[in-house]
Amino acid sequence: MVKTRLGREIGMIDAAWWFRHQTGRLIRAVARDRRWRTVLAVAPDHAIASRAWPPGIARWPQGPGDLGARMARALAHFGPGPVAIVGGDVPGVGPREIGRAFALARGGRAVLGPAADGGYWLVAVPHGGRLPAGLFAGVRWSGPHALSDTEATLGPLAPARRAAMLHDVDTAADLRAQRGRGA
């Protein structure tokens, strides 16, 4: 539950504090919306019992594997209807942005919410039970190619529709910029 890149710059305790409060705000805002079911996909698996998570929210252990394997497993598990995965490190995400992504996914294509750094804050698919083979295989995570690499794995769900571009927080500079934007 710690943003390790952020932690290297501002300290692990401060990074953990920021992430806990950021995700708590996001979870509470999103879970109130009754258009969808909110489930926390937690890693590592033992963190599922953490008291850091807001009470009353369903939790699901992500299991083993790299980020792509865990994301594909979550999308498949929570199908057969539309499913979205939302990153917890993007201040400003709320029900409006997620509702828009679900609306875009109804068109039969994947939806990606691009982040300013080349990654993304959201991936949504129209049908979690029908994912292309190799989804997320070979994606270079945590870098400027994550979005384009992911798009290349979408198969029949491509080209992805785009949700709003938002700014995630991976570094101290990102955190300062977010605070400057009032997020």
How far apart, in whole angstroms, are the C-alpha atoms of residue 27 and residue 66? 23
How far apart, in whole angstroms, are the C-alpha atoms of residue 90 and residue 107? 25
The mean pLDDT value for 154-174 works out to 95
How far apart, in whole angstroms, are the C-alpha atoms of residue 183 and residue 173? 14
Question: Tell me: the pLDDT tens digits for 114-143?
Answer: 999 999 999 999 998 899 999 999 999 988
Which of 1-5, 51-55, 173-177 has the highest average model confidence (pLDDT)?
Answer: 173-177
Domain boundaries of the chain, sorted by first residue: 4-181
Identify the pLDDT of residue 66: 95
Contact 78, 128 (CB under 8 A): yes
Residue 183 has pLDDT above 80, yes or no: no
Question: Tell me: the pLDDT tens digits for 41-79?
Answer: 999 999 999 998 889 999 999 999 999 999 999 999 998
How far apart, in whole angstroms, are the C-alpha atoms of residue 176 and residue 17? 15
Domain 4-181 belongs in CATH node 3.90.550.10? yes
Of the two residues 3 and 51, the one the predictor is more confident about is 51
How far apart, in whole angstroms, are the C-alpha atoms of residue 98 and residue 42? 19
Secondary structure string (H, E, C) spanning the chain: CCCHHHHHHHCHHHHHHHHHHHHHHHHHHHHCCCCCCCEEEECCHHHHHCCCCCCCCEEEECCCCCHHHHHHHHHHHCCCCCEEEECCCCCCCCHHHHHHHHHHHCCCCCEEEEECCCCEEEEEECCCCCCCCCCCCCCCCCCCCHHHHHHHCCHHHCCCEECCCECCCCCHHHHHHHHHHCC
Phi and psi angles of residue 43, each rounded to the nearest 5 degrees, phi first: -140, 140
Contact 76, 93 (CB under 8 A): no
Question: Tell me: the pLDDT tens digits for 85-120?
Answer: 999 999 989 999 999 999 999 989 999 999 999 999
Identify the pLDDT of residue 2: 62
